[in-house]
Amino acid sequence: MRYRETGVDVHRGDAVKRDIAARIRATWGDAVVPVPGGFCGVMRWPAGERWMAATMDGVGTKLHLALAEGRLPGACADLVYHCADDLLAHGARPLAFLDYIAQARLEPEVVRDAVDGMARACAEVGAALLGGETAQMPDTYLPGVVDVAGCMIGEIDPVLFRDGSRVLPGDRLLGLASDGLHTNGFSLARKVLTVSELASGDPLPGGDGETLADALLAPHRWYGRAVLPTLTDPGLHALAHVTGGGIAGNLVRVLPARARAIVATRAWERPALFRWIAAAGSVPEDDMRDTFNLGIGMVLVVAADAAGRVSAALAAAGERVHEIGRVEEGERGVAWEDAGGRG
Amino acid sequence: MRYRETGVDVHRGDAVKRDIAARIRATWGDAVVPVPGGFCGVMRWPAGERWMAATMDGVGTKLHLALAEGRLPGACADLVYHCADDLLAHGARPLAFLDYIAQARLEPEVVRDAVDGMARACAEVGAALLGGETAQMPDTYLPGVVDVAGCMIGEIDPVLFRDGSRVLPGDRLLGLASDGLHTNGFSLARKVLTVSELASGDPLPGGDGETLADALLAPHRWYGRAVLPTLTDPGLHALAHVTGGGIAGNLVRVLPARARAIVATRAWERPALFRWIAAAGSVPEDDMRDTFNLGIGMVLVVAADAAGRVSAALAAAGERVHEIGRVEEGERGVAWEDAGGRG
């Protein structure tokens, strides 16, 4: 099963994004800090000493599964965590969040559940739920579903700002364990669930007894609690949030020219959920890599002599850290290395 | 034709909003400046000297008409103007805008048109188009349509911040002319167009030769160029952006306790478009008032002795200004006064 067949054409979206980049840049002026491939936008605040970061995201098709399972609050909390991790990738701390909830006909319980999940997650990441809009559009939305999008605003101490510019050959890749699919790959995962012989309430094959629904809808992990304190470490060179496009598709966003990242696929154990998806959906390995986080929700690029202390600090803060590869001089990009044992 | 019959139940949405207010407030902490009924959220920036304002909005059903007429860029520009006017109501200046564009299947031309309109409007209001998300969700959206939402972030000099707290009995209401429906009332307006015997290309009855499409899709006016400079005038007490809910429904949002606004319906000439909608759709006057701006896109509440100079300054900056009423002591609310000639 190829990812495109499920209805989400990643590459078509990318082409659109390139086409419109010039029009967007024309609005930037001097205040915007260009972050090519950035996970969020960054601009200098008028007051001077801080920068502002902001990102817009949708929950995506995780909403459908969440609605079907009666777990909408969790999927909407995930939107907040997702945005907060996008800010974190550039060293930003959450300040505020605003949401957009739209349906064919507004169902009060759906709106309440969505806000409930977002408010809970906002409190957790330290963002004020500053505003929101509910829209009722019977000629736009299919009946019985909901779309939820949100914008998170954060602040950056310019000293702690990270992009790809500090990354050097010799750096190590630290992978922070994910808690499941997070918010990406659900169009494919739902399709696999449909063609498989299992129901969402069945146990995940190879799992620890959790149901497929539990595994698929596990919350998007917020890495800020552990990672924000490590931003003062000059050995932490860059951060990549593993979202749509998988590990390689996101890690490349923080690589400078002439830097090639090598990801050792056997450096960590792929969680049972991803193994089941690949098997039940006959999903080729390339598609698995392009679509899913495969168990790594955030990649930190760190100086070789800092890898130990950063890793220890993150582990002490509750993260499961794997050294998953390295940066070499070479053509800018990410290569997968299948040889070698676990790191 | 009652507004609810067209598929948008304003009051149901309001009930939902009340239900969730407590959950939202729990996330606010000390940084958020409470603005009851506010047009945007306001919080103190960490750096201290400025405040931040932010608002999330959708284009709404104006999109359908715009798509049908091949004028999507204009409707998406309107979203930017709408957000900028929401910020302006509390004294904020635009800084940045982020968009969300979603379709069943992304059509590159649609996305390009949407971004084109938003980028143009961002340049006009002085906002950087800082980010955006495009989402392809075939199980959420009806085919062939698009939804567009956006979040605008602005800055406020706290000295220029306005809410309802300065409003006093004796104040005058200055209405700034709108350029049409702006972005509200389109569900009803489209229905009226459907039941009328006219096509969108026909001339607007009573108009100056413009087509119905031209009149219906006229851009949402941005008032910042004229109004931002007047914020330094201490006689300007409050501002209300006339959006969903009409003049009364929005003016009441900036009235303090024991302040009653009286709007003299004959103080300005109702534009031909609104007269045609009322006649062609047999729309009761109450619904017209609750749904449309009726020719007034923003209401400024000013001290009686400042009305002349504020009005002159706005007129000099290109606005058409009508003195449309006054504030009295009384039960908090807005009353319509039908007697009297033009002001």
Domain coordinates in residue numbering, chain A = 31-160, 164-337
Residue B287 phi/psi, 5-degree rounding, is -70, -40
CB A92 within 8 A of CB A154: yes
pLDDT at A342 over 50: no
State whether B119 and A63 contact (CB < 8 Å).
no
Residue B36: count of CB within 10 angstroms of its CB: 9
User: Would an 8 Å CB–CB cutoff place A145 in contact with chain B?
Assistant: yes
User: Would an 8 Å CB–CB cutoff place B155 in contact with chain A?
Assistant: yes
Amino acid letter for position B94: P
Nearest CB to A139; choose among B43, B64, B137 = B64
State whether A111 and B153 contact (CB < 8 Å).
no
Of A14 and B222, which is predicted with more confidence?
A: B222
User: Would an 8 Å CB–CB cutoff place B141 in contact with chain A?
Assistant: yes
Nearest CB to B133; choose among A56, A111, A129 = A56
Residue B203: DSSP 8-state: B
Strands A259-264 and A333-337: parallel
Distance from C-alpha of A224 to C-alpha of A228, rounded to nearest angstrom:
5
Both structure tokens of A197: 């012989």
Res. A23 pLDDT band, cuts 50 70 90: confident
In words, the CATH class of domain B31-160 is: alpha beta
Amino acid letter for position A97: F
Angle at A44 between CA A41 and CA A47, to 5 degrees: 140
CA distances from A262 to A39, A65, A329, B315 (A): 21, 34, 10, 64
Substitution target from B83, B151, B183 for chain A, most A beta carbons within 10 A: B151
Residue A287: count of CB within 10 angstroms of its CB: 21
CA distances from B68 to A153, A222, B71, B202, B280 (A): 34, 42, 8, 15, 21
Identify the pLDDT of residue A42: 95
User: Would an 8 Å CB–CB cutoff place B338 in contact with chain A?
Assistant: no
Distance from C-alpha of B330 to C-alpha of B314, rounded to nearest angstrom:
29
**Stretch A283-288: mean pLDDT, rounded?**
96
Both structure tokens of B55: 């608002």
Q: Which chain B residues touch A5 with a CB distance below 8 Å?
A: none
User: Would an 8 Å CB–CB cutoff place A147 in contact with chain B?
Assistant: yes
Substitution target from B8, B79, B137 for chain A, most A beta carbons within 10 A: B137
Terminal C-alpha separation, chain B: 31
Residue B335 phi/psi, 5-degree rounding, is -115, 145
User: Would an 8 Å CB–CB cutoff place A34 in contact with chain B?
Assistant: no
Terminal C-alpha separation, chain A: 31
Identify the pLDDT of residue A289: 97
Sign of CA dihedral B241, B246, B247, B252: negative
Could you tell me how many CB contacts below 8 A there are between chain A and chain B? 248
Q: Which chain B residues touch A22 with a CB distance below 8 Å?
A: none
Q: How many CA atoms lie within 13 A of A141 on its CB side?
A: 21
Strands A333-337 and A321-329: unpaired
Alpha-carbon Rg for chain B in angstroms: 20
Our CA-based measurement puts residue A168 at a distance from the nearest CA of chain B, in whole angstroms, of: 28
Q: Where are the alpha helices (DSSP H) in B126-253?
A: 186-195, 212-216, 224-227, 246-251
Percent of chain A clearing pLDDT 70 (strictly above):
93
State whether A151 and B54 contact (CB < 8 Å).
yes
State whether B123 and A7 contact (CB < 8 Å).
no
> Which single residue is written with the structure tokens 């995962």?
A189
Buried/exposed code over B241-263 (b: 16+ C-beta within 10 A; e: otherwise)? bbbbbbbbbbbbbbbbeebbbeb
Q: Which residues have a Cβ under 8 Å from the Cβ of A66 and sit 6 or more positions away?
A: A72, A74, A75, A217
Q: What is the dihedral of CA A225, A227, A233, A234, to 10 degrees?
A: -150
Our CA-based measurement puts residue A193 at a distance from the nearest CA of chain B, in whole angstroms, of: 16
Buried/exposed code over B178-194 (b: 16+ C-beta within 10 A; e: otherwise)? bbbbbbbbbbbbbbbbe
Nearest CB to A132; choose among B47, B56, B155 = B56
pLDDT at A328 over 90: yes
Distance from C-alpha of B301 to C-alpha of B237, rounded to nearest angstrom:
5
Both structure tokens of B313: 């300054």
Our CA-based measurement puts residue B128 at a distance from the nearest CA of chain A, in whole angstroms, of: 5
Residue B254: DSSP 8-state: G
User: Would an 8 Å CB–CB cutoff place A294 in contact with chain B?
Assistant: no
User: Would an 8 Å CB–CB cutoff place B19 in contact with chain A?
Assistant: yes
Average pLDDT, chain A: 92
User: Would an 8 Å CB–CB cutoff place A323 in contact with chain B?
Assistant: no
State whether A134 and B29 contact (CB < 8 Å).
no
User: Would an 8 Å CB–CB cutoff place A55 in contact with chain B?
Assistant: yes
User: Would an 8 Å CB–CB cutoff place B273 in contact with chain A?
Assistant: no
Strands B32-33 and A296-302: unpaired
State whether A140 and B64 contact (CB < 8 Å).
yes
Identify the pLDDT of residue A256: 96
Amino acid letter for position A343: G
User: Would an 8 Å CB–CB cutoff place A245 in contact with chain B?
Assistant: no
Over residues A60-110, the pLDDT tens digits come to 999 999 999 999 999 999 999 999 999 999 999 999 999 999 999 988 889
User: Which residues, numbered 91 to 110 in chain A, qualify as contacts with chain B under a Cβ-Cβ cut-off of 8 Å?
Assistant: 95-96, 98-100, 102, 105-106, 108
Q: B164-337 is classed in which CATH architecture?
A: Alpha-Beta Complex (3.90)
State whether B41 and A102 contact (CB < 8 Å).
no
CB A326 within 8 A of CB A198: no
Q: Which chain B residues touch A119 with a CB distance below 8 Å?
A: 20, 23-24, 26-27
Res. A155 pLDDT band, cuts 50 70 90: very high
Nearest to B226 by CA among B334, B319, B137: B319
User: Would an 8 Å CB–CB cutoff place B317 in contact with chain A?
Assistant: no
CB B99 within 8 A of CB B109: no
Distance from C-alpha of A127 to C-alpha of B289, rounded to nearest angstrom:
37
Distance from C-alpha of B152 to C-alpha of A58, rounded to nearest angstrom:
16
User: Would an 8 Å CB–CB cutoff place A11 in contact with chain B?
Assistant: no
How would you classify residue A15: left for phi > 0, otherwise alpha for psi between -120 and 50, otherwise beta?
A: alpha
- Search chain B and give the residue with CA nearest A121: B27
Chunk chain B into consecutive blocks of 10 residues (it has 343) and report each block's average pLDDT, rounded to whole numbers: 49 63 86 91 84 95 94 98 98 97 92 94 97 92 96 96 97 98 94 95 97 97 98 98 95 96 97 98 96 98 98 98 98 88 42
